[in-house]
Amino acid sequence: MNYNPFKDKKFITTLIDVIFFLCLYFAGKYAPVSIFDDIKTVFEAVQPLVLLAIANMFVGDSQALRAGVKLTFLKER
C-alpha cells in the first residue's frame, strides 16, 4: 500500500489545527495581555471540536475498512 498523507482528511485536519494553534500562539505572545486572554479562550473552545472531528473521521474509516470498503487515500502498488 502507498499512503499519501495529503489525501487523508485526518492528516489535513491535524495540519490545519497545528497551523491555527501556532498562529494563535504567536499572536498571543506578541499581543497585549487582554487580547492574549481572548486568543487563549478561542483556542480552548476550538481545540476539542477539532479533536472530535478527527476521532469521528477515524471511526468512520475503521468502520469502512471492517465493511471491506477501500479507502481513497490507501492505494495498492
* 13-34 confidence digits (pLDDT tens): 888 888 988 888 888 788 787 7
Q: Tell me how far apart the alpha carbons of residues 44 and 39 are, in angstroms, rounded to a whole number.
A: 9
The pLDDT value recorded for residue 7 is 79
In whole angstroms, what separates CA 7 from the centre of its chain?
13
Where do the structural domains in the chain lie, given as residue ranges? 2-75
What is the Cβ-side half-sphere exposure of residue 47, based on CA atoms within 13 angstroms? Answer: 12
The pLDDT value recorded for residue 76 is 58
Tell me the per-residue pLDDT of 28-56, one tens digit each, with 9 for 90 and over.
788 787 787 887 788 888 888 888 888 88
The pLDDT value recorded for residue 1 is 55
pTM above 0.75, yes or no: no
